[in-house]
């Protein structure tokens, strides 16, 4: 059964990742609740981090009426400042990879890529994240990448963000799905999500 990290655990993991290639991945996962399959194919063209308001567009394939036919659903998420700073640092790191790779670099426009520009393998992602979690003092074998999304829901709910807003942020069609999947993480009440997450993760900046 999936679980979520406590605030103390989440902050420890984010701090342990600082300076590594996984820092921005972890910050974005915990701060936005993006799905593992969404973050691996996320492109730089879907992120605006240089304007006054930082926004990320997330596209998800959605099955219609249980059929094989799918449609694409988009949700736009305002990014907290900690995520913006992490993404800017990651963009600079990726530019260094591109320079070092030279002709071996394969440009796919991915935010999170290998050091030659290709899409990340989910098993490699899990190994990398578990190394960071182990460094943070967690039993890495107990955690998967998908539980970063559960952590996002739990942290926001504990901070007073309501289920209606959380449902929109995680890309559900309605609150019924959110309640069913994340019933263990949800608490009552409400406030704004981007500012809430900035406040929640403030300890990770110190």
* Alpha helical stretches, state H, 42-102: 81-101
Q: Could you say which of 69, 123, 141, 183 is catalytic?
A: 69
At residue 183, the pLDDT reads 44
Q: Which of 35, 85, 88, 98 is catalytic?
A: 35
Per-residue pLDDT at 187: 44
pLDDT > 60? residue 146? yes
Strand order, beta sheet including 55-63 = 47-48, 55-63, 70-78
Told to judge if 75 belongs to the known catalytic residues of this protein, a careful annotator would answer: no
Over the stretch 66-109, which tens digit does the pLDDT of each residue have? 544 444 567 788 888 999 999 999 999 999 999 999 999 999 99
Percentage of residues in the chain with pLDDT exceeding 70?
A: 75
For 97-129, b/e burial (b = at least 16 CB within 10 A) is ebeeeeeebeeeebbbbbeebeebeeeebbebb
State the pLDDT at residue 171: 63
Q: Residue 122 belongs to a domain with what CATH number?
A: 1.10.443.10
1: pLDDT strictly greater than 60 = no
Q: How far apart are CA 40 and CA 59, in angstroms?
A: 12
148's enclosing H/E stretch is helix 147-158
CB 120 within 8 A of CB 113: yes
Which region, left, alpha or beta, applies to residue 140 given φ > 0 means left and ψ of -120 to 50 means alpha?
alpha
Tally of domains in the chain = 1
What is the extent of the structural domain holding 111? 7-205
Dihedral sign for Cα atoms in the order 195, 2, 120, 125: positive
Q: 150 and 4 in contact (C-beta within 8 Å)? A: yes
Annotated catalytic residue within 40, 149, 150, 159:
149
Q: Is 98 tagged catalytic?
A: no
180 pLDDT above the threshold of 50? no
Please check whether residue 71 lies inside any domain of the structure: yes
Give a yes or no: residue 2 inside a domain. Answer: no
Please list the residues that pair with 73 across neighbouring strands. 60
Q: Give me the long-range contacts of 179-183 (CB less than 8 A, separation at least 24).
A: 182/150, 182/153, 182/154, 182/157
Q: Is 35 a catalytic residue?
A: yes
* 183 included as an active-site residue: no
Calculate what percentage of the chain has a pLDDT beyond 90: 49
Residue of 172 and 27 predicted with greater confidence: 27
Two tokens at 163? 């289920």
Is 78 within 8 Å of 33 (Cβ atoms)?
no
Examine the residue annotation and report whether 182 is marked as an active-site residue of this protein. Answer: yes
Q: Tell me whether residue 1 is in a domain.
A: no
101-141 pLDDT, tens digit each = 999 999 999 999 999 999 999 999 999 999 999 999 999 89
Report the length, in residues, of the chain: 206
């Amino acid at each position: 059964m999936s679980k979520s990290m406590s605030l103390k655990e989440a902050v420890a993991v984010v701090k342990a990742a600082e300076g590594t290639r996984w820092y921005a991945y972890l910050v974005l996962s915990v701060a936005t609740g993006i799905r593992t399959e969404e973050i691996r194919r996320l492109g730089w063209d879907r992120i605006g981090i240089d304007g006054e308001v930082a926004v990320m567009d997330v596209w998800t394939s959605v099955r219609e009426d249980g059929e094989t036919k799918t449609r694409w659903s988009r949700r736009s998420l305002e990014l907290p400042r900690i995520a913006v700073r992490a993404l800017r640092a990651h963009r600079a790191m990726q530019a260094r990879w591109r320079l070092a790779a030279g002709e071996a670099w394969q440009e796919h426009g991915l935010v999170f890529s290998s050091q030659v520009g290709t899409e990340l393998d989910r098993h490699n992602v899990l190994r990398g994240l578990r190394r960071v979690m182990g460094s943070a003092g967690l039993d890495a074998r107990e955690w998967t990448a998908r539980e970063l999304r559960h952590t996002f829901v739990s942290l926001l709910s504990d901070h007073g963000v309501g289920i209606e807003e959380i449902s929109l942020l995680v890309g559900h069609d309605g609150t019924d799905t959110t309640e069913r999947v994340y019933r263990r993480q949800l608490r009552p009440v409400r406030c704004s999500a981007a500012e809430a997450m900035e406040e929640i993760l403030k300890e990770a900046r110190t």
